[in-house]
Amino acid sequence: MASFNGNVTFLGVGNMGTAAIQALRKASHPVTIWNRTKSRPQVQAAIDAGATFEPDLAQALSRSDVIVLCLLDYATITKIFSSIGEPGAVLKGKSVINLTNGTPKEAREMETYFTSLGTIVYLDGAIMVTPQMVGGPHAFLFLSGGQGSTETPDGATSRLVELVSPIGKPDYLGADVGAASRYDLASLAPMYGMFAGGFLGMALLKRGNPNAKLVPVVQEKIVPMIAALVPYMTGIARAWDAEDWVENDGNPVGMMAVGVQNILAAAADEGVDGTVLEEFGSLMEKVERDHGYDAGIAAVGTYLMK
């Protein structure tokens, strides 16, 4: 790593990977890519950006001190590297930056896996924007780890963090290699919850008027309301930190539980599947049962801690 010259071998030439490669090339980093097929449009886009395509995996890995991974899942990573006869011979002394979506447990296991193959630095991370936003002013990454080996050179982790900065502003979370994936999933969970509730709401609208367009209502009414409520999450977090199950910010959980039940009742009446909201409604009812009608919604979180 002391002789690191900015060369990168990139595995994972999908939409996100291609966007990351283009950002690295724009910053003048030499990039070698490997993919099973050269004919994919994303591979050609990476080549057009100046990346070098190497059809032989071992040769691609040997070209660079740093390997960046942006694959479908962690199982794909081990499958790819197990296809090399002696992966340790190719990876010894190299550093790995893994931007593949996964779990904290998988990150810890992957650090152990790559350390056993002789790598000197393993960073786990996540790109926290869509491919279209990569390299732009709002792009950022979570990164963690880099301290798993006694062979790690001084300053190596910070240099790797800086290396991926063209992709997005790096937010290094420390030596706990599972931290980046934990923050990633904690950020994505509210997004998917919003989508789930959004689909339920749009289905209700469609049942009311099958021929009406959704965009005007979503754009002009639903999105502004959701945007106004986003800061409410901070209040919930504050109450949870303080273990204050009484503070309700004027919104008693009993009242909100009735609101959820009304949504579910309307869904049943209109022929819409309300399953995505049922469990949340049940948790709110548990809070009301255990803490009273006037309790705050933050207590819902305690029932998720198994």
pLDDT tens-digit profile of 116-141?
999 999 999 999 999 999 999 999 99
Q: Is residue 228 over pLDDT 60?
A: yes
The pLDDT of residue 156: 87
pLDDT beyond 80 at 306: no
| Overall residue count recorded for the chain in this entry | 306
User: Does pLDDT of 201 surpass 90?
Assistant: yes
Residue 269 has pLDDT above 50, yes or no: yes
- The pLDDT of residue 17 is above 60: yes
How confident is the prediction for the chain on average, in pLDDT?
Answer: 94
User: Does residue 148 register a pLDDT over 80?
Assistant: no
For 79-93, 97-111, 252-266, which range has the lowest pLDDT when averaged over its residues?
79-93
pLDDT band, very low/low/confident/very high, at 6 (cuts 50, 70, 90): confident
Instruction: Give the pLDDT confidence score for residue 155 in this predicted structure.
Output: 82
Q: Which CATH architecture has domain 182-304?
A: Orthogonal Bundle (1.10)
**Given pLDDT bands bounded at 50, 70 and 90, which one contains residue 1?**
very low
The structure tokens listed for 86 are 């002696």
Domain boundaries, the chain: 8-176, 182-304
- Fold that domain 8-176 belongs to in CATH: Rossmann fold (3.40.50)
- Give the pLDDT of residue 164: 96
Query: How many whole angstroms separate alpha carbon 20 and alpha carbon 26?
Result: 10
Q: What is the dihedral of CA 76, 80, 86, 92, to 10 degrees?
A: -70
Share of the chain above pLDDT 70, in %: 96
Whether 267 shows a pLDDT value over 80: the answer reads yes
* pLDDT for 2: 41
Instruction: Say which range, 11-20, 79-88, 125-134, has the weakest mean pLDDT.
Output: 79-88
- For the segment 156-180, what is each residue's pLDDT rounded down to a tens digit? 899 999 999 999 999 999 999 999 9
Q: What is the pLDDT of residue 85?
A: 86
Closest to 80 (Cα-Cα) out of 105, 65, 95, 100? 100
